[in-house]
Structure 1
Amino acid sequence: MKTIKGPAVFLAQFMDDKEPFNSLDGLCKWASDLGYKGIQIPTWESRLIDLKKAAESKTYCDELKGKVQSYGLEITELCTHLQGQLVAVHPAYDEMFDNFAPDGYKNNPKKRQAWAVDQLMSAAKASRNLGIDVHGTFSGALLWHTFHPWPQRPPGLVEMGFKELANRWLPILNAFDEQGVDVCYEVHPGEDIHDGVTFERFLEATGNHKRVNILYDPSHFVLQQLDYLQYIDFYHEHIKMFHVKDSEFNATGKKGAFGGYGDWRDRAGRYRSLGDGQIDFKTIFTKLTEYNCDVWAVMEWECCIKSPEQGAREGAPFIASHIIEATEKAFDDFAGAQTDEAKLKRILGL
């Protein structure tokens, strides 16, 4: 068994125009002072990383790693959630997802998609230059608007959707394969990969591509009322990244999983700061350790009530208290005895 690494923190939600949240140095010192051992970098944040330069220059990556390590931290992974989303966008969402692209690529879905693909290709090379072999992203979605089958989906629609999604991702997956880096899709509402069944559909559509893997975040499963513990039993071989994020689901006579178009604070299912929600992290950490999952425990802060500063302060000790030092010794070794084949046969009456 492997001991889970951590605690680490995903920097995306902490970016700000105010110090220390507006620079890599500022965030590194802040994270280190709070007790984190790693940072997960959102590659769309140019204040943290020049993705193109990282793809082209090993020297730049060595300098970037050196800067982070000078604060006692490691770069756990790079992430391209926003770029990955733009690999597959249904026209109904074009205008809203344009916010994820630079100004020069807005109002032009094909140009925007090409930019997103290029970003992913760069992320594969950048990850390798940094010595990282896993990468986090979103799948994007062509079918999400049909998740509730009304009006009725015509036969073949879902199959066609996943075939097209796979076709868009296969060149990217092959590029990551060339660099020896796994692509870990965050299984998330709003994505075509949003649960176990859809992960399997995508995996099959890619011809069981070996680089198709999972960023496991149990908070999204609580909102779907999916068994997030059994999910680990089913898919532990594919879980290569881990977001530690809490959530809760409190249905009433007025609202449930669909949320009634409410803001986050008003929904039955909502994200909470670590320890404030309903997730059984003790069992999650136990299962991931038991299944030998070689992952960083990375806090992703999202909460509609608690401040990010408090969430971050509480996050590092919360994760540290859940990391299990994997045992290399059986607890009953003291009662053991040397045996030989003849003795075993005698015990069995053979």
Structure 2
Amino acid sequence: METLAASGVQLTELSTHLQGQLVAVHPAYDAAFDGFAPDSVRGNPVARQSWAVEQLLFAAKASANLGVKAHATFSGALAWPYIYPWPQRPPGLIETAFEELAKRWRPILDAFDAAGVDLCFELHPGEDLHDGVTFDRFLESVDGHKRCNILFDPSHFVLQQLDYLTFLDIYHSRVKMLHVKDAEFRPTGRQGVYGGYQPWVQRAGRFRSLGDGQVDFHSIFSELAQYGFDGWAVLEWECCLKSSEQGAREGAPFIKRHIIEIAERAFDDFAKSGADEEANRRMLGLAARKESKHAG
């Protein structure tokens, strides 16, 4: 940390997105996700999961050692192949999936609690935790664990057409991390949310550089200020059109312009007259009524 400070750099967060993904992998994705793991555990789902859990436990200690108070990750997924109810899901399938997911994550959450670090799930497609409903289900399964929190990234909500401002109204107490990433959703007569297996450039929903998409960052930063969010505003760039260099040059000042300096006092403090119970009663007409009663 001294080395970073000497260079004018401050560590904002650690991330275990890939390791978190491997905590829970449906067999349909075994081959695709094997590349996230070291050679020694590839082709062995049980060993791969154990490795992933171990990495999360290490990350809890590392975060504490580095003075980082929140950690970013993915939940992984057991139920994602069944997100659309066709063929019909048998009764209890989703409940069993979330029970198992909670069983795998509970020891990890406890480790982060012992380290004094919030574990923040990025609600993301491909994960069992991808919206408010699934987060609620998981939170209930881990008994409302205080370290079970959210990394808020509005771009993912644009692509699934979720009201991200109302989301903040509901979940602000659990939002401990923020990724500032833009996106746009422009459905056509040929494709919508599912995207038709198109590449990113041709999808109706796609990520954009900051300021080029549809996310209402003015309202987001206002809500975060209203609810007292004190974490970092982290620039995340995943644009299918603009270069990363241009995105970085434009993104940092974009965020700086949106950060709100919290007011130290109310704008109308000048009109305060101080607390006076008798004056309040007179303004409400209660003092006069009391006097009239005594007079009678």
Aligned positions, number:
286
The answer as to 2:197 corresponding to 1:267 is no
The answer as to 2:29 corresponding to 1:93 is yes
Displacement of 1:339: 3.6
Q: 1:326-337 maps to which residues of 2 (within 5 A)?
A: 326-337=262-273
Aligned pair partner of 1:145 in 78, 81, 85: 81
Describe the SS at the equivalent of 1:75. Answer: coil
The answer as to 2:223 corresponding to 1:223 is no
Aligned pair partner of 2:246 in 304, 310, 317: 310
The answer as to 2:168 corresponding to 1:205 is no
Distance in 2 separating the partners of 1:159 and 1:215? 24
Displacement of 1:71: 2.2
Aligned pair partner of 1:323 in 252, 259, 278: 259
Distance in 1 separating the partners of 2:170 and 2:45? 36
Distance in 1 separating the partners of 2:167 and 2:156? 12
Identity of aligned residues (%): 65
Displacement of 1:336: 2.1
Distance in 2 separating the partners of 1:150 and 1:344? 64
Aligned pair partner of 1:117 in 53, 74, 87: 53
The answer as to 2:67 corresponding to 1:131 is yes
Distance in 1 separating the partners of 2:86 and 2:5? 52
- TM-score, scaled to structure 2: 0.95
Displacement of 1:68: 1.7
- Tell me the residue number matched to 1:192: 128
The aligned amino acid for 2:92 is G
Distance in 2 separating the partners of 1:124 and 1:338? 49
Q: Runs of 4 or more off by more than 4 Å in structure 1? A: none
The answer as to 2:17 corresponding to 1:81 is yes
- TM-score, scaled to structure 1: 0.81
Q: Which has the larger radius of gyration?
A: 2
Per-residue deviation, residues 290-336 of structure 1 (Å, max 9, x unmatched) = 01112110001100000001101111100000000000111111222
Q: 1:1-350 maps to which residues of 2 (within 5 A)?
A: 65-350=1-286
Structure 1: state its 5+ residue gaps. Answer: 1-64
Describe the SS at the equivalent of 1:74. Answer: coil
Distance in 2 separating the partners of 1:338 and 1:176? 46
Cα RMSD for the two superposed structures: 0.7
Distance in 2 separating the partners of 1:339 and 1:244? 43
Describe the SS at the equivalent of 1:311. Answer: helix
Distance in 1 separating the partners of 2:59 and 2:50? 14
Displacement of 1:286: 0.2
Distance in 2 separating the partners of 1:213 and 1:186? 9
Describe the SS at the equivalent of 2:13. Answer: strand
Q: Which moved more, 1:306-315 or 1:65-74?
A: 65-74
Distance in 2 separating the partners of 1:154 and 1:270? 33
The aligned amino acid for 2:259 is I
Describe the SS at the equivalent of 1:241. Answer: strand
Describe the SS at the equivalent of 2:215. Answer: coil
Displacement of 1:132: 1.3
Describe the SS at the equivalent of 2:261. Answer: coil
Distance in 2 separating the partners of 1:149 and 1:183? 30
